[in-house]
Structure 1
Amino acid sequence: MAEEGTTAAPPYSEMILEAIDGLNEKTGSSKAKISKYIESKHGDLPSDHSEQISDQLTKMKDAGEIVFAKNNYMRPDPNSPAKRSRGRPPKPKEPLPEGYVAPAPKPRGRPPKAKDGLSAKLAKAAEGLPKRRGRPPKAGGAPPKKQQKKAPAPAAGAKRGRGRPPKAKPAVAAAVGA
């Protein structure tokens, strides 16, 4: 229950705008000056006053109600152009003629395959013969392959293992003077 003699403080956004207007500094007002101005005008403030001012200043700055420049807050200039977003600005759109109906948008992605096999086979037959796999043969017929020399067959019974063969070891001389 509030007493009749005290009035509730207005919202922080109103108090901040009042402080900026009341201080009327050309380069804007710092957060400390805004806080002191509010404390001098409205004595009954909560204990977390400084955190609430910081939060409200950030919200107002993000919403475009105030401008933050060189650590000072000020009201935006009504004659200044709106802040551009990142990227290239959109092209101006020409008005569409009356009665124009936009075509249906194209579906995204690859069209789905046919569910039944018969329609897929009929579609393939309509296109012509299916293509053979691999590289197509050269035009004019392929020349006969040259006779390649075949490597000599390994000795019968000796099976070659995988990989590189081991290095040949030199014969060790028998121990002299045993």
Structure 2
Amino acid sequence: MLLNNLSLPDYPQMIMEAIEALNEKDGSSMTSITKHIELTHSDLPENHSTLLSHHLNLMKQSGELVMSNNNYMKPDLNAPPKRGRGRPPKPKSPLPTGSVVSPPRPRGRPPKPKDLSAPPKPKTPVSTGRPRGRPPKKAKTAATVTAPPPPPGVKRGRGRPPKVQPSVVSQ
């Protein structure tokens, strides 16, 4: 069985022979390449379809084959090279000889200019007596509840209830 596999040419060679023999205008599909290889070579291994798809992918990635509409074909030598994703970079003009290139500007906002006539700031922080940040919430107690709950069975009206006015005793 090993002797049969030794007489078998390499997969890239078989693939290129199949594409050349099929000579389809829009390229050859994987199934037509498979059928051609199976017809010309009878002693293929059991994992032939796996090996074929693996070698087709390798040849596509290396640029030996081009894929178009699920068809494989030889790359056109006169075609322009395929562009990558995104906007192409601007062309750089050549600098004259002897000119010095300044380093690129740093990122972010530039620092404020320092006033040399101003007095220096104190290094120690000024304390106001209170700690920084928002003060913690105080725990609710029974004395903070202002309105007693409504008696059971009485429905509340819609919306916000009116503000309770303190009673003023006049004499």
Q: Same fold (TM over 0.5)?
A: yes
What is the aligned partner in structure 1 of residue 158 from structure 2?
A: none
Deviation at 1:14, TM superposition (A): 2.1
Aligned to 1:91: 90
Q: Which residue of 2 aligns with 1:128?
A: 118
The answer for the alignment partner of 2:79 in structure 1 is: 80
Please state how far the C-alpha of 1:108 moved relative to its aligned partner.
6.5
Return the offset for 1:73: 1.3
Deviation at residue 18 of structure 1 after TM alignment: 1.5
1:48-63 mapped onto 2 (5 Å cutoff):
48-63=47-62
Question: How far does residue 98 in structure 1 lie from its aligned partner after superposition?
Answer: 3.9
> Could you tell me how far 1:51 is from its partner in structure 2?
1.1
Structure 2 length as normaliser, TM-score? Answer: 0.55
Listed as ranges, the gaps of 5+ residues in structure 2 are 122-142, 148-162, 165-171
Residues 162 and 84 of structure 1, relative CA distance in 2, 3 Å threshold: farther
The two structures, once aligned, show a CA RMSD in angstroms of 4.1
Bigger radius of gyration:
1
Distance in 1, matches of 2:145 and 2:31, equals 81
**Aligned residue number for residue 21 of structure 2:** 22
- 8 Å CA contact 2:5–2:44 kept in 1: the answer is no
Matches within 5 A, 1:141-160: none
Distance 1:15 1:6, change over 3 A: closer
Partner of 1:73, secondary structure, is: strand
2:144 and 2:46 map into 1 onto residues whose CA distance is 86
Question: 1:21 deviation in Å?
Answer: 0.7
Call closer, same or farther: CA 1:97–1:129 in 2, change over 3 Å.
same
Shift of 1:70: 2.4
Identity %: 52
Counting matched residue pairs gives 130
Cα-to-partner distance string for 1:79-110 (whole Å, 9 max, x where unaligned):
22211111111222233334556455667779
Specify the code of the residue in structure 2 equivalent to 1:96.
Answer: L
User: Cα offset for 1:127?
Assistant: 5.7
CA distance in 2, matches of 1:60, 1:93: 34
Partner of 1:66: 65
| 2:59 aligned counterpart, secondary structure | helix
- Which TM-score applies when normalising by structure 1? 0.53
CA distance, structure 1, for counterparts of residue 68 and residue 32 of structure 2: 15
- Structure 1 unaligned segments of length 5 or more: list them: 111-123, 132-159, 169-178
Runs of 4+ that moved beyond 6 A:
106-110
Amino acid at match of 1:35: T
Where 1:81 maps in the other structure, the secondary structure is coil
The answer for the alignment partner of 2:152 in structure 1 is none
